[in-house]
């Protein structure tokens, strides 16, 4: 198990390094330059370039960048006028906002999804089961920002109960609408998946055996059904968590939340954000993505003893 | 033997009436338990699945509407509906709610009393006065075309990549799979954000972004299928007969692995539509005056406080597309690999 984890961590770090380098390279060879050339003379630009180390060979620049990033956790400064402040100050607020709202959404989605899925599986073919199916279909088919638009329209505009835009001072209160709308996709996927897994496990031979041995009710569900149904659920959770980071994009943009998703949208649309931010965000997103995948892979290995023995075959 | 040879002179000479042609229907061997061709079996399984059929109906209906829907009224997708009223003043049909004059008259007993009393707007008009029925189906058409085209190209790329990687194995597979691993670790958004700097906004950006990300899933499926198939006897037979690698991969193995790949395609199309909607919503996708489902949702969102009905048609179309393709995908997956208990 230890060897397996070490190998996975090693691969993940190497992949991240390669991605970082590629991103760095792409950002450096991008067309245009960060200076408002009509306002600055050639000498001024040359000075500024030298000051920022833009004339060094690309590998030196990369080494400098990585040294700063790894030892000081410093993403450097933005280069443009508007975003010319240290990236870290901007990022820290954004990350904390995004993570709190995303975390809340994951919490709501997973807990409610599990509860709903288990209830549906225990009442197979009854009303709750049908309700779970319909809800999971809606949740998968409609993007989270559409839910946000509806919630915002009905509960902030028609009935002005919740704030129409995000308010940093009333954090918990104003994160109800975005967290709820973000959690719906997670909720529906987890509910559907839990239900199907539970049903499958409940029909399996070993549960029938356990029943034959006289186990029933809560302990049967808890110890035999749920534990085994949980393993595949962990696998769907990984992309869901990653999706929450991505799904948060439009939600943050619409609801005016100052988060990394909104920064990312600004980076994509090119609204006054500069290349260093694109680079920092790219590294951050990749690190998060790879990190979460790695974490859940290891968790999966702990939950499912078969993997510990075999290691993971190929890239599956 | 001797005896038969001797009887030869007296052998019977066949007369014209002795033989008759077999008709086609006499040739079948077993009528009650005739074996089905693979795809016929798949089709039967597929059409027995109620959800899959519903999905198919939804998708066919949306495709038909997106082709013929804009034709049933005279408004173009970029035309602002305007005309001269009774006082000979030019009026623009801005922000008209959904209306069918005949139905309104039937329900309330009186016609509409504004300038557009005799006009039908099934989905209403937007804040500029464009007919939303036309725009919705035109947008659905654009979204569907983007999704189909990109996913088709992705399928070709991913399939070839996965099949080649799996077929040759060894160092080729190692290198190709390391590349996939890295490509798969780059979040889609990072790719999009970097692309957005290099490329102009518009349809091209959406297509390239989808091309860069969606092939990976296909290649994984294709590789797994290849690993399952390549040890089978018919491959060995083909190789023994001297077939080249290219022939074995694309003419012999590909037809036998196409099922799971098509299933993956069905699940990729909704992803493509979703991504397109997201990018267009954010504003880097389809450019004005063209429209797609994503830009229509964005328009609806911008006017939600004044014209709340405007956002509904594109959202419903988007949801139905997701639903339909997911149902078809589920149905295909089950039909291609039926579980024992279903048979």
pLDDT tens, chain B, 343 aa long: 445 555 556 778 888 778 777 777 666 666 666 666 777 878 888 888 888 899 899 999 999 988 887 777 777 777 777 777 767 777 776 767 777 777 777 777 776 667 666 777 777 777 777 778 888 888 888 888 888 899 999 999 999 999 888 888 888 888 888 888 888 878 777 888 788 777 777 788 888 888 888 888 889 888 888 888 888 888 888 888 888 888 888 888 888 888 888 888 888 888 888 888 888 887 777 777 778 888 888 888 888 778 878 888 888 888 888 888 888 888 888 888 755 444 4
Domain count, chain A: 2
Given an 8 Å threshold on Cβ–Cβ distance, is B185 in contact with A293? Answer: yes
Nearest to A190 by CA among A257, A142, A132, A266: A132
Instruction: Provide the H-helix boundaries in A123-212.
Output: 127-141, 144-152, 171-174, 176-202, 205-212
B63's tokens: 């495709």
Q: In the predicted model, what is the mean pLDDT of residues A29-39?
A: 63
Yes or no: say if B253 and B229 are a contact pair by the CB < 8 Å rule. Answer: yes
For residue A30, the distance in angstroms to the closest alpha carbon of chain B comes to 7
- Judge whether residue A311 has pLDDT over 50: no
User: Are A98 and A127 within one domain?
Assistant: yes
Given an 8 Å threshold on Cβ–Cβ distance, is B281 in contact with A290? Answer: no
* pLDDT for residue B1: 46
Given an 8 Å threshold on Cβ–Cβ distance, is A268 in contact with B190? Answer: no
Looking at A11, A43, A72, the residue that finishes a domain is A72
For residue B139, the distance in angstroms to the closest alpha carbon of chain A comes to 17
Judge whether A25 lies within some domain.
yes
- The residue in chain A having the minimum alpha-carbon distance to the alpha carbon of residue B193 is A268
* pLDDT for residue B60: 92
Judge whether A37 lies within some domain.
yes
A137's tokens: 């279909």
C-alpha gyration radius of chain A: 24
User: Are A61 and A93 within one domain?
Assistant: no
Buried-exposed string A231-247: b where 16+ CB fall within 10 A, e elsewhere: bbbebbbbebbbebbbb
ipTM for the complex shown: 0.76
Domain of residue A266 covers 87-272+289-306
Q: What is the 3-state secondary structure (H, E, C) of A1-16?
A: CHHHHHHHHHHHHHHH
**Band (A55; pLDDT cuts 50, 70, 90):** confident
Given an 8 Å threshold on Cβ–Cβ distance, is B189 in contact with A18? Answer: no
User: Are A91 and A45 within one domain?
Assistant: no
Given an 8 Å threshold on Cβ–Cβ distance, is A314 in contact with B322? Answer: no
Given an 8 Å threshold on Cβ–Cβ distance, is B326 in contact with A269? Answer: no
Distance, in Å, from the CA atom of A158 to the CA atom of A152, rounded to the nearest integer, reads 9
User: Are A54 and A125 within one domain?
Assistant: no
Judge whether A311 lies within some domain.
no
Q: How many A-B residue pairs are in contact by the CB < 8 A criterion? A: 106
Using a CB–CB cut-off of 8 Å, the residues of B that contact A are 177, 180-182, 185-190, 192-194, 196-198, 220, 224, 274, 277-279, 281-284, 297, 301, 304-305, 308, 311, 315, 318-320, 322-323, 326
Chain centroid to Cα A259, Å, comes to 12
**Band (A314; pLDDT cuts 50, 70, 90):** very low
Given an 8 Å threshold on Cβ–Cβ distance, is B297 in contact with A146? Answer: yes
User: Are A61 and A180 within one domain?
Assistant: no
**Band (A196; pLDDT cuts 50, 70, 90):** confident
Given an 8 Å threshold on Cβ–Cβ distance, is B189 in contact with A268? Answer: yes
- Judge whether residue A189 has pLDDT over 80: yes
* Partner residue opposite A26 with nearest CB, options B192, B194, B301: B194
Judge whether A313 lies within some domain.
no
User: Are A19 and A114 within one domain?
Assistant: no
Cβ neighbours of A292 in B, within 8 Å: none
* Bridge partner residues of B121 (DSSP): B99
* Record: fold of B47-73+129-342: MetI-like fold (1.10.3720)
Given an 8 Å threshold on Cβ–Cβ distance, is B197 in contact with A275? Answer: yes
Q: Residue B156: enclosing H or E segment and its boundaries?
A: helix B132-168
Cβ neighbours of B213 in A, within 8 Å: none
Distance, in Å, from the CA atom of B66 to the CA atom of B75, rounded to the nearest integer, reads 15
Q: In the predicted model, what is the mean pLDDT of residues A168-191?
A: 82
Task: Name which residue leads in pLDDT, B83 or A314.
Answer: B83
The pLDDT mean for chain A works out to 77
Judge whether A263 lies within some domain.
yes
pLDDT digits (tens, 9 = 90+) for B152-161: 999 999 999 9
Lowest mean pLDDT of A84-98, A229-243, A298-312, B142-156, name the range: A298-312
- Which CATH number belongs to the domain containing residue A122 in this structure? 1.10.3720.10
Mutate to test the interface with B, among A137, A139, A143, A295 (most CBs of B within 10 A): A143
Q: In the predicted model, what is the mean pLDDT of residues A129-154?
A: 83
- Judge whether residue A315 has pLDDT over 50: no
User: Are A93 and A199 within one domain?
Assistant: yes
User: Are A42 and A102 within one domain?
Assistant: no
* Bridge partner residues of B99 (DSSP): B121
For residue B22, the distance in angstroms to the closest alpha carbon of chain A comes to 52
User: Are A16 and A49 within one domain?
Assistant: yes
* Bridge partner residues of B82 (DSSP): B92
Task: Name which residue leads in pLDDT, A108 or B130.
Answer: A108
Mutate to test the interface with B, among A8, A22, A25, A146 (most CBs of B within 10 A): A146
* pLDDT for residue B27: 65
**Band (A310; pLDDT cuts 50, 70, 90):** very low
* pLDDT for residue A247: 55
Judge whether A278 lies within some domain.
no
**Band (A96; pLDDT cuts 50, 70, 90):** confident
Judge whether A176 lies within some domain.
yes
- The residue in chain B having the minimum alpha-carbon distance to the alpha carbon of residue A14 is B182
Judge whether A264 lies within some domain.
yes
For residue A129, the distance in angstroms to the closest alpha carbon of chain B comes to 16
* pLDDT for residue B35: 67
Yes or no: say if A204 and A127 are a contact pair by the CB < 8 Å rule. Answer: no
pTM of the prediction? 0.79
* Partner residue opposite B177 with nearest CB, options A268, A285, A315: A315
For residue B214, the distance in angstroms to the closest alpha carbon of chain A comes to 15
User: Are A23 and A144 within one domain?
Assistant: no
pLDDT digits (tens, 9 = 90+) for A250-292: 888 888 888 888 887 877 776 655 677 778 888 888 888 888 8
Mutate to test the interface with A, among B186, B216, B299 (most CBs of A within 10 A): B186
Given an 8 Å threshold on Cβ–Cβ distance, is A249 in contact with B311? Answer: no
User: Are A50 and A115 within one domain?
Assistant: no
Number of Cα atoms under 13 Å in the Cβ half of residue B331: 22
Mutate to test the interface with A, among B188, B195, B197 (most CBs of A within 10 A): B197
- Judge whether residue A102 has pLDDT over 60: yes
Mutate to test the interface with A, among B54, B176, B193 (most CBs of A within 10 A): B193
User: Are A107 and A50 within one domain?
Assistant: no
* Partner residue opposite A30 with nearest CB, options B186, B197, B326: B197
């Amino acid at each position: 198990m230890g060897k397996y984890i070490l190998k996975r961590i090693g691969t993940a770090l190497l992949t991240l390094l390669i991605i970082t380098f590629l991103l760095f390279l792409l950002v450096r060879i991008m067309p245009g330059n960060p200076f408002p050339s009509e306002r600055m003379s050639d000498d001024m630009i040359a000075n500024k370039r030298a000051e920022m180390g833009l004339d060094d060979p690309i590998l030196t620049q990369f080494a400098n960048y990585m040294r700063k990033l790894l030892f000081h956790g410093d993403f450097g400064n933005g280069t443009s006028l508007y975003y010319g402040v240290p990236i870290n100050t901007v990022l820290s607020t954004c990350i904390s906002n995004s993570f709190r709202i995303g975390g809340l959404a994951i919490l709501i989605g997973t807990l409610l999804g599990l509860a709903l899925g288990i209830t549906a599986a225990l009442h197979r073919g009854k009303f709750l089961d049908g309700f779970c199916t319909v809800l999971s279909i809606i949740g998968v088919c409609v993007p989270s920002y559409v839910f946000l638009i509806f919630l915002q329209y009905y509960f902030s505009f028609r009935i002005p109960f919740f704030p129409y835009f995000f308010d940093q001072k009333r954090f918990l209160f104003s994160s109800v609408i975005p967290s709820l709308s973000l959690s719906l996709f997670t909720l529906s996927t987890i509910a559907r998946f839990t239900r199907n897994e539970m049903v499958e496990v409940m029909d399996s031979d070993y549960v029938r055996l356990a029943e034959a041995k006289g186990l029933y009710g809560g302990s049967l569900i808890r110890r035999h059904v749920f534990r085994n149904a949980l393993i595949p659920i962990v696998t769907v959770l990984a992309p869901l968590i990653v999706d929450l980071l991505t799904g948060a994009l439009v939600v943050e943009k619409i609801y005016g939340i100052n988060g990394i998703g909104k920064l990312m949208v600004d980076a994509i649309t090119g609204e006054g954000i500069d290349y260093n931010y694109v680079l920092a965000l790219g590294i951050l997103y990749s690190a998060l993505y790879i990190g979460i995948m790695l974490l859940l892979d290891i968790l999966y290995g702990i939950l499912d003893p078969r993997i510990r023995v075999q290691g993971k075959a190929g890239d599956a | 033997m001797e005896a038969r040879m001797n009887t030869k002179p007296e052998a019977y000479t066949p007369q014209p009436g002795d033989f008759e042609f077999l008709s086609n229907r006499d040739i079948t061997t077993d009528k009650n338990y005739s074996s089905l061709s693979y795809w016929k079996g798949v089709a039967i399984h597929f059409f027995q699945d109620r959800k899959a059929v519903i999905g198919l109906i939804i998708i066919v209906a949306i495709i038909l509407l997106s082709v013929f829907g804009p034709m049933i009224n005279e408004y173009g997708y970029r035309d602002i509906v305007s005309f001269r009223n009774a006082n000979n003043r030019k009026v623009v049909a801005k922000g008209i709610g959904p209306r069918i004059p005949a139905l309104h008259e039937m329900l309330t007993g009186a016609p509409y009393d504004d300038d557009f009393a005799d006009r039908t707007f099934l989905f209403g008009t937007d804040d500029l006065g464009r007919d939303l029925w036309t725009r919705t189906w035109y947008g659905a058409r654009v979204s569907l075309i983007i999704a189909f085209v990109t996913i088709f190209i992705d399928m070709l790329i991913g399939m070839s990549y996965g099949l080649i990687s799996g077929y040759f194995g060894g160092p080729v597979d190692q290198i190709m799979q390391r590349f996939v691993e890295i490509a798969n670790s780059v979040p889609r958004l990072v790719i999009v954000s970097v692309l957005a700097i290099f490329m102009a906004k518009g349809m091209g950006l959406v297509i390239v972004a989808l091309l860069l990300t969606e092939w990976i899933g296909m290649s994984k499926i294709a590789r797994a299928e290849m690993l399952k198939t390549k040890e089978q006897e018919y491959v060995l037979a083909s190789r023994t007969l001297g077939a080249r690698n290219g022939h074995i991969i694309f003419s012999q193995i590909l037809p036998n692995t196409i099922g799971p790949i098509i299933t993956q395609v069905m699940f990729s199309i909704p992803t493509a539509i979703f991504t397109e909607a997201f990018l267009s919503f954010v504003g880097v996708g389809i450019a004005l005056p063209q429209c797609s489902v994503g830009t229509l949702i964005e328009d609806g969102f911008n006017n939600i406080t004044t014209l709340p009905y405007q956002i509904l048609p594109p959202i419903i179309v988007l949801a139905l597309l997701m639903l339909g393709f997911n149902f078809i995908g589920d149905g295909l997956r089950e039909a291609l690999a039926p579980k024992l208990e279903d048979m």
